[in-house]
Amino acid sequence: MAVPYFRLDLEKEEIDGVVRVLKSGWLTTGAECQGFEDEFGQALGGGVHAIAVNSNTSGMHLALEAAGIGPGDEVIVPDLTFTATAEVVRYLGAEVVFADVLKDTLCIDPEDVKRSITPRTKAIIPVHFGGMAADLEALQALAAEHNLRIIEDAAHSFPASLNGRPIGRHGTFATVFSFYANKTITTGEGGMIVTDNDAVADRCRVMRLHGIDRDAFHRFQGDSASWDYDIIAPGFKYNLPDLAAALGRGQLARAMTMQSRRQAVADTYRAGLADLPLELPPEAPEGDMHAWHLYPIRLTQGAPLSRAELEAALTTAQIGYSVHYTPLHRMTYWRERYGLSDNRFPVSTDYFGRCISLPIFSDMRIDEAEEVVATLQRILD
Ligand SMILES: *Cc1c(COP(=O)(O)O)cnc(C)c1O
């Protein structure tokens, strides 16, 4: 039986939601988007700002802009992530400083962050890798000591929790989720900035739509024509259309069920792969939630085959897989700009040589997970 790496999980409520918007006569940002923001904030416990944007990348750009990051500043980012985490720093003319990750969680190593701090450091962008929470406590201690902002790249981590609180509720400068097509919940393209800081929320709201000052807009609406508004900055075009928001509301309503189905796949993998020459990703600690966007495994050092041989065997068996990620220090732009090499990043380099991401998605059936397990048992025994 062939098992794909990913399959979309869409139900009637999402499709009905999009049709509702199509029939409403209003396609761009409006009431659906407002509803999605309200419901997303509620899902994180309420009493927090949720600002919908058209991607996680644009959300992180807005959060860094709100933090006042600019030329001459440095922002510390993990080496093992998607390039979006780092590129947003360059959008603002600031410099990226890459740090290595921890061997077990694959999230940024606070000790390496500490060593990377200079007088120019202004922010840290941890990634909750694969849906496993980064060590925010250690990072927040460093941030407090050195007056740094933390902007969480939560592209993989809805819904996830750490120390009993959801990701998005740890009091950092901002947390940014992704609703890209293959993320844990999707709007096709989309993202959400979450913050409990009123000023940060106001700045992100203004800058996501051309720098239009909504307060000025509303203030004048009563007294003058509705064409009248003010522009307070050269903003961006980062708003989320209602079509996408309607899809997001349907997905959000099912997010916990979808997580439990990915958890069941992870449980099947843990039980079935434990005796093979593989290193499996850690579970979230007791009482916390792993979002399970990825299931990254590593061949052990003494494994009977290489990553390339494992890939060939999986391809023959028609089992989908991926690799997350080629470390950014290996990418031409980042390597050349900062003169980076493998020996600066021993953990991500070693991980990259031995890793494979197995299929894990909410529409995956347990018999499909069992097929992946049986195939790996056959290949590796
Ligand atoms: C997907 C992803 C992003 C970008 O998300 P978009 O919504 O596509 O902009 C950023 N960081 C990480 C770690 C990702 O996996």
**Protein residue with least CA distance to atom 2, ligand 1:** 155
- Asked whether residue 7 is assigned to any structural domain, the reply reads no
How far is C-alpha 192 from the geometric centre of its chain's CA atoms? 10
- Asked whether residue 236 is assigned to any structural domain, the reply reads yes
Distance CA 324, CA 85 (A): 14
Q: Which of 253, 271, 300 is the last residue of a domain?
A: 253
270 shares its domain with 333 = yes
| Residue 261 confidence (pLDDT) | 98
The predicted model gives 58-74 an average pLDDT of 98
| Residue 43 confidence (pLDDT) | 98
In eight-state DSSP terms, residue 283 is P
Q: Which of 192, 227, 253 is the last residue of a domain?
A: 253
244 shares its domain with 363 = no
The predicted model gives 143-167 an average pLDDT of 98
pLDDT tens digits for 299-325? 999 999 999 999 999 999 999 999 999
| 72 Cα: distance to centroid of ligand 1 (angstroms) | 25
Q: Is 105 in the pocket of ligand 1 (CB under 6 A)?
A: no
Which percentage of the chain shows pLDDT scores above 90? 95
Q: What band does 212 get if pLDDT is binned at 50, 70 and 90?
A: very high
Q: What band does 216 get if pLDDT is binned at 50, 70 and 90?
A: low
247 shares its domain with 274 = no
Q: Are strands 121-124 and 95-99 parallel, antiparallel or unpaired?
A: unpaired
- Asked whether residue 1 is assigned to any structural domain, the reply reads no
| Residue 255 confidence (pLDDT) | 98
Q: Is the pLDDT of residue 268 over 80?
A: yes
Which percentage of the chain shows pLDDT scores above 70? 97
- Asked whether residue 366 is assigned to any structural domain, the reply reads yes
| Residue 229 confidence (pLDDT) | 85
**Cα torsion for 39, 40, 42, 48, to the nearest 10°?**
-130
Q: Is 357 in the pocket of ligand 1 (CB under 6 A)?
A: no
Q: Is the pLDDT of residue 225 over 80?
A: no
Q: Which of 224, 253, 282 is the last residue of a domain?
A: 253
- Smallest CA-to-CA distance from 40 within 155, 157, 158 is with 158
Structure tokens at 212: 């239009």
Does the model's pTM come out above 0.85?
A: yes
pLDDT tens digits for 352-366? 999 999 999 999 999
Atom of ligand 1 nearest to the CA of 156: 15
Q: What band does 263 get if pLDDT is binned at 50, 70 and 90?
A: very high
Contact between 262 and 289 (Cβ < 8 Å): no
Distance CA 272, CA 291 (A): 20
Helices (H), ranges, 67-103: 84-91
The predicted model gives 256-263 an average pLDDT of 98
Domain count across the chain: 2
pLDDT tens digits for 43-65? 999 999 999 999 999 999 999 99
Q: What band does 250 get if pLDDT is binned at 50, 70 and 90?
A: very high
Q: Is the pLDDT of residue 221 over 80?
A: no
The predicted model gives 139-159 an average pLDDT of 98
Show the domain range for 83: 12-253
Q: Is the pLDDT of residue 241 over 60?
A: yes
183 is catalytic: yes
**Left (φ > 0), alpha (ψ -120 to 50) or beta: where does 23 sit?**
alpha
CATH number of the CATH domain containing 363: 3.90.1150.10
220 shares its domain with 271 = no
131 shares its domain with 111 = yes
276 shares its domain with 240 = no
Q: Is the pLDDT of residue 198 over 60?
A: yes
- Asked whether residue 348 is assigned to any structural domain, the reply reads yes
- Asked whether residue 99 is assigned to any structural domain, the reply reads yes
Distance CA 72, CA 122 (A): 10
130 shares its domain with 270 = no
- Asked whether residue 323 is assigned to any structural domain, the reply reads yes
91 shares its domain with 80 = yes
291 shares its domain with 142 = no
pLDDT tens digits for 79-118? 999 999 999 999 999 999 999 999 999 999 999 999 999 9
82 shares its domain with 175 = yes
205 shares its domain with 324 = no
- Smallest CA-to-CA distance from 208 within 244, 232, 240, 238 is with 238
| 307 Cα: distance to centroid of ligand 1 (angstroms) | 25
CATH number of the CATH domain containing 96: 3.40.640.10
Q: Are strands 121-124 and 74-78 parallel, antiparallel or unpaired?
A: parallel
237 shares its domain with 260 = no
- Asked whether residue 4 is assigned to any structural domain, the reply reads no
| Residue 227 confidence (pLDDT) | 76
pLDDT tens digits for 118-132? 999 999 999 999 999
Q: What band does 189 get if pLDDT is binned at 50, 70 and 90?
A: very high
Strand partners, 95: 74
| Residue 381 confidence (pLDDT) | 83
Q: Is 184 in the pocket of ligand 1 (CB under 6 A)?
A: no
| Residue 228 confidence (pLDDT) | 79
| 370 Cα: distance to centroid of ligand 1 (angstroms) | 29
| 186 Cα: distance to centroid of ligand 1 (angstroms) | 12
Q: What band does 222 get if pLDDT is binned at 50, 70 and 90?
A: low
